[in-house]
Amino acid sequence: MSPSPHQHRNGSAGDSAEGRVITAARLATMRDRGAAATDDEAARLGAIEAAAVAVRDGRIEWVGVADGLPRAYADWPRSPAPGPLVTPALVDCHTHLVYGGSRAAEFEQRLSGVSYEQIARAGGGILSTVRATRAASREELVRSAAARSAHLLREGVGTVEIKSGYGLRIDSELEMLRAARELGELLPGLRVRTTLLAAHAVPPEHRDRPERYVDEICEEILPAAVDEGLADQADVFCENIAFDLEQSERVLRAAADLGLSLRMHAEQLSASGAAELAARLGARSADHLEYLGPAGVEAMRRSGSVAVLLPGALYTLRETRRPPVESLRRAGVEIAVATDWNPGSSPLGSLLLAANMACTLLGTLPDEALVGVTRAGARVLGLEDEVGTIEVGRRAELLSWPLEDPVELCYRIGGQPTPHRLVGDRWIDCGELAAEAVRWS
């Protein structure tokens, strides 16, 4: 790949040094939880009508009703939003976007009655992607991930988390994370956060002694990833086809000792107590949660861990158990929604479709789903002071939509209009950011 003519650093595409005032008919600031909290239409999603946002050096300095704009900003040049609705850029807080190969054949197998777990136990599933990922060069990994990123950029995603977990040995795990970091450097407007998920499956080399692989993760892979600055977080697939509670705890404790924040794939295929473990270790999130029970909900309430809902996996696996959304809501556990984009259980290339599925399949309210793909997603990634809401001090990563009502964003089953995104002092069609990603593919 040759150097791009307009290469920018992560997520800071063309920040302009001088101040500007953005005006919009309606902001959905995402500061407030939404419909469950109030019936007041105007207060939903922290809406502000006839609004202005003062922006300098890519940060929000003031936000409110345009009539109340302080004198200090009165002379700043204006950039009216092209559409009536402005939201923060979207955050996809759980993906496996970097991988080699395809699993379309397994889709066919599952349709003829073979289960996901049976395929995994027969050496397919995650391990088939491991073979393809190990065989891929870093450039191939970056190119295919760039092609996938284009779909997310087009619909307004500004931040994406990407996990390793298809290398399952030190060289390939680190190579996946390097590919993810490289992607973030290549693509203007896509902030990439990386998560080491070496504990995704037991690699074939260690099939008879999984403990040895857990040792290797704790003693070699995690420290090497941290040394090279490749990982922001660590994650474990705690499941009967992956790692048990004790092994998961060892990995997560080793990660925490190295200063990483923690995530966990918990209670996806069976009830295991994984969410309670995640909560006990102070994990930022427990993800999936189809089999989460009352004790897990209570533990997450106490720890403040976010519940990440991944409806694409439930849909693909035709899982009939649902995460206990009503209990999570009543307990006040924050809910995030993500694509889980991966080649096996969730080949889902749209975060807004994930938000739609969260509503239709899992029972979140539209406002909860929209907070889930913005503010809550940012919190999962430790970026709550940076992105995910339109507030003073946050980055001015703003989307303008040709829509009046934010519910349109998750009511449609695909087919949302492409937003514009504020880049420096211009509103750029997100299709252009996507086209840049496609050029790298």
366 binds, among Fe ion, ligand DI6, none (CB under 5 to 8 A by kind): none
Residues of this chain, 237-266, that bind ligand DI6 according to CB under 6 A: 237, 265
Taking the least distance from each CB to Fe ion, the nearer of 266 and 277 is: 266
375 binds, among Fe ion, ligand DI6, none (CB under 5 to 8 A by kind): none
Residue 262 neighbours by CB under 8 Å, 6+ apart:
233, 234, 235, 252, 255, 256, 278, 281, 282, 283, 284
Is there binding between residue 106 and Fe ion (CB under 5 A)? Answer: no
> Of 79, 233, 272, 345, which one interacts with ligand DI6 (CB under 6 A)?
345
> Of 83, 296, 344, 372, which one interacts with ligand DI6 (CB under 6 A)?
344
324 binds, among ligand DI6, Fe ion, none (CB under 5 to 8 A by kind): none
Residues of this chain, 303-342, that bind ligand DI6 according to CB under 6 A: 313, 340, 342
Instruction: Calculate ∠ Cα 379-383-389, nearest 5°.
Output: 75
272: its two tokens:
């295991």
Is there binding between residue 268 and ligand DI6 (CB under 6 A)? Answer: yes
Angstrom distance (rounded) from CA 284 to CA 287: 10
Q: Which amino acid is at 433?
A: L
Residues that contact Fe ion, how many (by CB under 5 A): 1
87 binds, among ligand DI6, Fe ion, none (CB under 5 to 8 A by kind): none
Number of H helices, E strands in the chain: 17, 16
Residues that contact ligand DI6, how many (by CB under 6 A): 13
Q: Where are the alpha helices (DSSP H) in 169-221?
A: 170-186, 210-216
Taking the least distance from each CB to Fe ion, the nearer of 158 and 312 is: 312
Residues 113-142, mask of contacts with ligand DI6 (x by CB under 6 A): ------------xx--x-------------
Buried b (16+ CB within 10 A) or exposed e, 262-275: bbbbbbbbeebbbb
Judged by CB under 5 A, the stretch of 151-159, 176-184, 222-230, 340-348 that binds Fe ion is: 340-348
Instruction: Calculate ∠ Cα 19-25-29, nearest 5°.
Output: 70
Taking the least distance from each CB to Fe ion, the nearer of 46 and 312 is: 312
> Of 161, 232, 340, 367, which one interacts with Fe ion (CB under 5 A)?
340
Residue 288 Cβ vs Fe ion, minimum distance, rounded to whole Å? 7
341: left (phi over 0), alpha (psi -120 to 50) or beta: beta
Residues of this chain, 158-217, that bind ligand DI6 according to CB under 6 A: 200
126 binds, among Fe ion, ligand DI6, none (CB under 5 to 8 A by kind): ligand DI6
Judged by CB under 6 A, the stretch of 219-227, 295-303, 343-351, 378-386 that binds ligand DI6 is: 343-351
Dihedrals phi, psi of 409, to nearest 5 degrees: -65, -30
129 binds, among ligand DI6, Fe ion, none (CB under 5 to 8 A by kind): ligand DI6
DSSP character string of 327-367: HHHHHT--EEE-----SSS-----HHHHHHHIIIII---HH
Instruction: Calculate ∠ Cα 11-14-18, nearest 5°.
Output: 120
Residue 340 Cβ vs Fe ion, minimum distance, rounded to whole Å? 4
Taking the least distance from each CB to ligand DI6, the nearer of 350 and 416 is: 350
**Residue 121: how many other CB atoms lie within 10 Å:** 12
Residue whose structure tokens are 């919009």: 24
Residue 401 Cβ vs ligand DI6, minimum distance, rounded to whole Å? 30
349 Cα distance to chain centroid: 12
Closest CA to 166 of 185, 184, 147, 144: 144
Taking the least distance from each CB to ligand DI6, the nearer of 15 and 267 is: 267
Site residues (vs ligand DI6, CB under 6 A): 125-126, 129, 200, 237, 265, 268, 313, 340, 342-345
Site residues (vs Fe ion, CB under 5 A): 340
